[in-house]
A = this chain, B = another copy of it.
Amino acid sequence: MSVLIVGSTALDSIKTPNAENPRLLGGSASHAAVAASFFGPVKLIGVVGDDFPKKYLELYRRHKIDLDGLQILPGKTFHWSGEYEANLNNRRTLLTELGVFETFTPTLPKAHQAVPFVLLANIAPALQLHVLDQMRQPKFVVADTMDLWLNIALVDLLRLLPRLDGFVLNDGEAYQLTKEDNMFAAVKKIHKLGPKYVIIKKGSHGSILSGPKGFFLCPAYPLSTVVDPTGAGDSFVGGMMGYLAAAKGSIDANLRRAMIYGSVTASFCCEGFGLTRTTAIKRADIDRRVKELEKLTKF
């Protein structure tokens, strides 16, 4: 089955202590869509300006990402610029130019409205709601978010949560939302806001699923060198949704393995700037690391 992914489609200028990379393909939807594309068909909803490099459109196409829902409008593509500290855990935003994203309110093509798996990747909750409103009885809806929306759009986010099957956020955001340091206590509070499945991302410490079948402790694939973590969380949730949409059987039967696939896809993302490493791998590379992760966690 297909996955519909809405989120930001952006140009990222990323500075680390070792390198500077201007105008890479970025944005939550780009990372999530490429990650999901390893597993099955993906439909992208987004907007770019007329400055958007053709090579990036070709990149999407090479990954067989359906671009019927990608608008190209006169103006500038959303541009984000950020700088990482030496340990790559802390980053600060240097610049955010929304460009054509500022007024983006997509009307979904008919074919898109019937897609069963919906990933509302990180973007304003109002826009996530706007897209969800157009979907016809989706089978499984997951949203990601970020600290910014907890700060400036909490009311919209709280309207969105009861309409989700799954909600994905990182440990810092979970604390921000619940004021609980303990993530197993935090998820209990988040369930009360609506979602049946809550997934807390903990970066290199892996992630936690809480759902009707209890907890799942999902490891991160061990990397001794991280080049650029930008988009790792988007890759995680994209890979997870891609795997889920392609798998036979129930959500409960597949979700743990889907998280493992997401986790491994995210590990590749961290090994290069932007999407450079992720777009250089094949499905077999992902399968190999999943097998390794099985060995690394067996006892």
Closest Cβ neighbor of A263 among chain B residues: B299
A172 to chain B minimum Cβ distance, whole angstroms, is: 13
Query: Shortest distance in angstroms between A222's beta carbon and chain B's nearest beta carbon?
Result: 5
Q: Which of B205, B208, B222, B299 contacts A256 (CB 8 A)?
A: B299
A214 and B296 in contact, given A202-B205, A205-B202, A205-B205 (Cβ under 8 angstroms): yes
Count the copies. Answer: 2
- Which residue in B182, B217, B226, B259 is a CB contact (below 8 Å) of A219? B217
Q: Say which residue of B184, B205, B225, B296 sits within 8 Å of A223 (CB atoms).
A: B184
Taking the nearest CB of chain B, how far is it from the CB of A214, in angstroms? Answer: 7
Which of B214, B222, B226 makes the CB contact (< 8 A) with A217? B222
- A216 contacts partner chain B, Cβ-Cβ < 8 Å: yes
Main SS class of interface, A: mixed
Known: A188-B224, A215-B222. A181 touches B299 (CB 8 A): no
A256 contact set on B, CB distance < 8 A: 298-299
Which chain A residues (76-129) contact chain B, with CB distance < 8 Å? 86-89
Q: Which of B202, B205, B217, B224 contacts A296 (CB 8 A)?
A: B217
What count of chain A residues pass the 8 Å CB interface test?
36
B residues within 8 A CB of A251?
A: none
Could you list 17 A-B pairs, sorted by A, with CB under 8 Å? A86-B181, A87-B181, A88-B181, A89-B181, A182-B225, A185-B224, A202-B205, A206-B217, A214-B296, A215-B222, A216-B296, A217-B222, A217-B296, A256-B298, A257-B299, A259-B299, A297-B297
